[in-house]
Amino acid sequence: MTAEKSPASHYVYIVDDDRDVRRSLSFMLGASQMHSHPFGSGEDFLDAVPDLQPGCVLLDLRMPKMDGFQVLDELAKREVDWPVIVMTGHGEVPIAVRAMKAGALDFVEKPFSEASLMTCFETAFALLDRSAESGQQKQAALQRVRRLTVRETEVLQGLLAGESNRRLAARLGISLRTVEMHRANMMESLEVKSLAEALTLSIEAGLKPAPKQD
């Protein structure tokens, strides 16, 4: 990744107990127009996570107290899905593979070249950008679904579960005509032209289908 292609909004969090490594990496990343934030321990990084912008994590696996595997485990528990690149010693490929199975995106062996690291970042930030775009789409879909009344939402959930209008009417205790009215209003509120579009939007928003009736 060249300096011209490195957006200023790209953040890299360096987690390594070696001060010299943190300094050299920060210098390298700064020259590539990335925002680097060094942390001397996994604990310090995890304490700061709630206040950090989404970014890429450059994580040393061998650290005292809390090692890289424990950091990966804690990130998974907190549902922080930022891309993680782990740093390993030379010849520690089996350990790196174990880290990737634990959720790391990629690994680099120390000492690593700037080119190899930038290649990892290119993949990591592309993944992060796609994740951000997906999150924005979900929020937009959720905002549209939230326009619905309680009854319109119930109708949409029933349709998502594969219920017919007649089945919906029986389950909700309303007339077929009322179901059709709520369905039409629901389509209008969601600004969609087809049922397929409405269902796709509801799935993007994370709406759950109505539970199946015995």
Find the mean pLDDT for residues 191-213: 87
Does the 146-205 domain belong in CATH 1.20.1250.20? no
pLDDT at 113: 81
HSE-up (13 A, CA, CB side) for residue 122:
11
Q: What's the CATH number of domain 3-134, 3.30.420.40, 3.40.50.300, 3.30.1330.80, 3.40.50.2300?
A: 3.40.50.2300
pLDDT above 50: residue 5: no
Residues 63 and 46: beta-carbon distance below 8 Å = no
pLDDT at 83 over 60: yes
φ and ψ of 191, to 5 deg? 60, 45
In this prediction, residue 214 carries a pLDDT of 59
Q: What is the mean pLDDT of the segment spanning 174-188?
A: 94
- pLDDT over threshold 90, residue 42: yes
Q: What is the DSSP string of 6-71?
A: --TT-EEEEE-S-HHHHHHHHHHHHHTT-EEEEESSHHHHHHHGGGSPS-EEEEES--SSS-HHHH
pLDDT interval class at 9 (50, 70, 90): low
Residue 50 region, left (φ>0) first, then alpha (ψ -120 to 50), else beta?
alpha
pTM: 0.61
Same fold, 3-134 and 146-205: no
- The set of residues, in sequence order, having a beta carbon less than 8 Å from that of 42 and lying 6+ positions away, is 15, 59, 63, 65, 66, 67, 68, 70, 71, 74
Give the mean pLDDT of 196-208: 88
Per-domain boundaries in the chain: 3-134, 146-205
Peptide bond into 111 cis (omega under 30): yes
Please state, for a pLDDT cut of 90, what percent of the chain lies above it.
50
Q: What share of the chain is helix, strand, coil (3-state, %, to 5)?
A: 55, 10, 30
What does the block give as tokens for 194?
A: 């087809």
Mean pLDDT of 85-108: 86
Q: Give residue-wise pLDDT tens across range 109-136.
A: 888 888 888 888 888 888 888 876 777 7
Choose from 23-32, 42-51, 75-84, 196-205 the range with maximum mean pLDDT.
42-51
Per residue in 148-158, pLDDT tens? 999 999 999 99
> pLDDT for 45-74, tens place per residue?
999 999 998 899 999 998 988 999 999 999
Confidence tier at 7 by pLDDT (50, 70, 90): very low
State mean pLDDT over 175-184: 94
Mean pLDDT, the chain, as a whole number? 87
Per-residue CA distances from 175 to 22, 37, 159, 169, 171 (Å): 68, 61, 16, 6, 10
